[in-house]
Amino acid sequence: MSPKRLALGLALLLPAAAVFLIGNSLPARTDDTTQIHKRNHDIKVIRDPALGEDAVARMENVIGQSIFERIWVSAPSSTEAADGLGPMFNARSCVACHPGGARGSVLNKDGTMSPSLLVRFGRNDDGAADPIYGHQLQTDAASGVPAEGRFTVTYAKAATKLADGTVVELQRPVAEVANLADGPLDAATRIGLRLAPAIHGIGPLDSIPGETIIAAADPDDHDGDGISGRVSWLDAEHKTFGRFGWKAQQPTMEAQNAHAFLADMGLSTPLFHDAYGECTALQTACRSAPSGASSQFEALEVSSMLMKVLDRFVGEAVLPNGPKPRATTDEINQGRNIFAAAGCLSCHKDSYDIVWPAGSTKTRRISPYTDLLLHDMGDGLAEELNEGGVKGAEWRTPPLWGLRWAVDDQGHASLLHDGRARNLLEAILWHGGEALPARDHVASLSAADRQALISFLSSL
């Protein structure tokens, strides 16, 4: 398609201006706001500079960004291309949870709770959804429809002592739901917290050959190294497995993006057709609300054309260069060696050779520091709920690239799946299960070696 025809075909679908949603009206759900990282720098992903200058591709990327930043509205609306939000939802835009495409933080700059933090529901045995509220608590809703409820977070704190006598205070979030619109949760339903990750690098991660990921799995620890990463099989017969999400529940970038539209904003897509999002049959007010699905857009709220450009934007997103490391090259290299000596590379695989983007004739090396497998991380990080057959203590190895932007100039951050870790050392000290030997290795380091490790991680 020529750039002119593409522009004409999408012109009516775009908002007049890109607007960022800032926060929400709910109070901060914590008993100690000083203990939670507040982002002190703004980050915005860019299009991968290594990509070509193809005019259509660049235009689709720009249009995809506008969809990522679009504030959706509830139906009916005078602008059919931008309505259909909800009826129940957590955010009005992708960028609200992924500010600038970067990872979310627990709090907004003004101290209110960020929409980046979500509550997930599930049973602890089979992961089944709550019969009324589904798999996710939606904290906002269209006019005339009650929001499902709200949640609060308090922190249980405990101190741990390192080998050199340093005492580190760790905090574990405890979430409670309240003001549930349709009665209490099922007695078997358990809750967990999820913090929105950054979108950068998803395209290259999607291009890692499946056989490479499968070959690295060792669920029965046949090699005896104490690491038993397993593939998150979604359909073993058809060799479909998850590689995205904290629990590796989505098989592709496209599925990950479409599921976010469904669960977070209640918008239907070619992969998830339900215009009522996660509204269950028991939520009659939600199910009777107007739908934004339109015959003009394939009886959907987010058409295949919009998903195509959105997927391109996400798939091509990378973080900008910088900030410049404060540590010296020697200190960073020292930290890299410590990272390897601790055994961290057993899960945080450093590099892959991929062919990306699709159609490329060249091999490209990426360094995401992940094996995309599920690992038992121990009781400290365990939840009570099972999600899609993934146990509460199992988590997909998160990529470490981009930590240079996730940690601010004072070393503060919102790390791990629920943002509990306020810095890199806390994140490491929460490791258990298969990662316990690596955690203990770090705890035994001298202060200088520990800082070198932190400097290395902060440079990724």
Q: What average pLDDT does range 113-142 have in this prediction?
A: 95
Cα torsion through 3, 9, 15, 19, rounded to 10: -40
Altogether, the residues listed in the chain come to a count of: 460
Mean per-residue pLDDT over the chain, rounded: 90
Q: Of 434 and 360, which is predicted with more confidence?
A: 434
Quick check: 40 pLDDT over 60?
no
**Considering only CA atoms, which of 276, 141, 257 is closest in space to residue 199?**
257
Chain centroid to Cα 104, Å, comes to 8
pLDDT band at 80 (very low <50, low <70, confident <90, very high): confident
- Residue 256: burial class (beta carbons within 10 Å; 0-12, 13-18, 19+): buried
How many C-beta neighbours within 10 Å does residue 330 have? 9
Alpha helices in 281-380 (DSSP H): 284-287, 304-315, 329-341
Q: What is the pLDDT of residue 11?
A: 43
Residue 117 in contact with residue 175, Cβ under 8 Å?
no
Quick check: 21 pLDDT over 60?
no
Q: What is the pLDDT of residue 222?
A: 96
Q: What average pLDDT does range 104-133 have in this prediction?
A: 92
Quick check: 397 pLDDT over 50?
yes
Predicted confidence (pLDDT) per residue in 195-226, tens digit: 999 999 999 999 999 999 999 999 999 999 99
Quick check: 123 pLDDT over 50?
yes
- The answer to which of 25-34, 86-95, 109-118 has the lowest mean pLDDT is 25-34
Q: Of 328 and 295, which is predicted with more confidence?
A: 328
Q: What is the pLDDT of residue 420?
A: 97
Quick check: 86 pLDDT over 80?
yes
Quick check: 2 pLDDT over 90?
no
Q: What is the pLDDT of residue 41?
A: 53
Q: Of 78 and 353, which is predicted with more confidence?
A: 353
- Find the helix packing angle between 253-265 and 304-315, rounded to 10°: 110
Q: What is the pLDDT of residue 28?
A: 35
SS3 string, 203-230, reads HHHHCCCHHHHHHHCCCCCCCCCCCCCE
Predicted confidence (pLDDT) per residue in 244-274, tens digit: 999 999 999 999 999 999 999 999 999 999 9
What distance in Å separates the CA atoms of residue 111 and residue 38, rounded to the nearest whole number?
A: 8
Whether the CA torsion 135, 96, 430, 226 is positive or negative: it is positive
Residue given tokens 């960028």 in the structure block: 95
Give the list of residues 6+ apart from residue 360 with CB closer than 8 angstroms, or none: none
Residue 155 in contact with residue 29, Cβ under 8 Å?
no
Percent of the residues in the chain that have a pLDDT greater than 70, as a whole number? 91
Three-state DSSP state, 218: coil
pLDDT band at 15 (very low <50, low <70, confident <90, very high): very low
Q: What is the pLDDT of residue 435?
A: 98
Q: What is the pLDDT of residue 81?
A: 77
- The answer to which of 40-49, 152-161, 397-406, 440-449 has the lowest mean pLDDT is 40-49
Predicted confidence (pLDDT) per residue in 50-71, tens digit: 898 899 999 999 999 999 999 9
How many C-beta neighbours within 10 Å does residue 196 have? 24
pLDDT band at 313 (very low <50, low <70, confident <90, very high): very high
Predicted confidence (pLDDT) per residue in 420-445, tens digit: 999 999 999 999 999 999 999 999 99
Quick check: 5 pLDDT over 70?
no
Q: What is the pLDDT of residue 33?
A: 35
Q: What average pLDDT does range 237-250 have in this prediction?
A: 94
Alpha helices in 207-242 (DSSP H): 210-216
Q: What average pLDDT does range 24-49 have in this prediction?
A: 54
Q: What average pLDDT does range 232-243 have in this prediction?
A: 92
